[in-house]
Amino acid sequence: MTDLTTTRATDEAAGDPAADVASLMQMIAGGAILQTLHAVAELNIADHVADGARTAKEVAEREGSHERSTFRLMRAAASLGVLSYEGSGRFGLTGRGQFLRTGVPGSLRSLVLIQAGESHWQPWSLFPEAVRQGASQAKKALGADVFDYYARPEKADKAKLFADSMRDLAGMVTQGILAEADTEGLSTAVDVGGGDGHLVLALMEANPALHGQVLDLPHAIEDASRQAERRGLSDRFSGVPGDFFVEVPGADLYLLKTVLHDWDDDRCTTILRNCRSAAGEGGRALVVEMLVDQEIGKPDFATIADVTMLCVTGGIERDLDEFDTLFAATCWHRGRTYPVGGGYFAMELEAI
């Protein structure tokens, strides 16, 4: 006699083959979907239809692209919900498509161009080898690791695009941080690897008594200094060229926004230990990162971000236990932890 429980479990495991194939086909098409968005961003499609629906012919004339191919691209974009089809060959812009426009709040255009461009796309062809070796193959694909690749003078435009994409991502979480983080009573904050200083400058605007610094590579702090001047904060801001693996300036608060995920555990330990060594009595840090859900098998974008880090930078997206291990090893204690938007969380640390 057949066990009914066993039969039911076998049926559930088998699933619906047709639905499973369709679902897997959609996953296989993921690369084509990204490159479709890449073309939409590169050809400024969202900008061309932002002020009203247009035909592919009109967009092709504006962009200088092939008319029929432009139609095919726009038709695919409509199937992805990025464009709307208004009839008579005219395409408009959806709410989703708004975030592929240039220069709008929350835009993800720069991120698409980076993720689908050569610096990120080429290493993916070697991802199986990255898993075998436990290390990014970006150097093999690009001739340098991704950060050295961006530092090449001939890649200055790519470096700017990468910085823009990071600034766009920062914009998503900064308001969440401002709503929760308390800098009252603090005099100095250092944005470690802070790029253009978006976060520390926002905290300085919220707290007129706070002085801010950005510790980063020379070309990055030049941008941060320009941003500080534009926002009228130059008298309380300074850029510090340096290497956070070697030394960080003394401060009351260290900001580590999407820094630790770029590096393996040993290098993260070095960064956190340098911050702890420079921190005074009662020193604090604010770490902002994605958190991998500890329940395996749930839909979790952080796990996809994690294999992206393995592929491109050699970094790691971590769960709370993994972060706590790093913090304990470097004499930091994690206090409040809260979501700040865009799938990111802020972890408040105290020196111990």
Please give the pLDDT value at position 295. 93
Q: Which residues of the chain have pLDDT under 50?
A: 1-12
Catalytic pick from 66, 219, 261, 333? 261
Contact 311, 121 (CB under 8 A): no
Cβ proximity of 287 and 323 under 8 Å: yes
pTM, 2 dp: 0.85
Phi, psi for residue 233 in degrees, rounded to 5: -120, 10
| Residue 340 identity (one-letter amino acid) | V
**Sheet of 211-216, strand order:** 237-241, 211-216, 188-192, 253-257, 284-290, 344-351, 332-341
Q: Whose CA is closest to 267, among 314, 207, 328, 307?
A: 314
Query: What tokens does 212 get?
Result: 């801010």
Tokens (6 digits) for 111: 């991120």
- The pLDDT value given to residue 14: 60
Say what the pLDDT of residue 4 is: 40
Give pLDDT, residue 167: 81
Query: Can you give the pLDDT at residue 164?
Result: 87
Q: How far apart are CA 321 and CA 292, in angstroms?
A: 10
120 is catalytic: no
Tens of pLDDT, residues 101-145? 998 988 999 999 999 999 999 999 999 999 999 999 999 999 999
Cβ-based neighbours of 97, under 8 Å, separated by 6 or more? 40, 46, 77, 81, 82, 83, 84
CA-CA distances (angstroms) from residue 326 to 209, 210, 262? 31, 28, 14
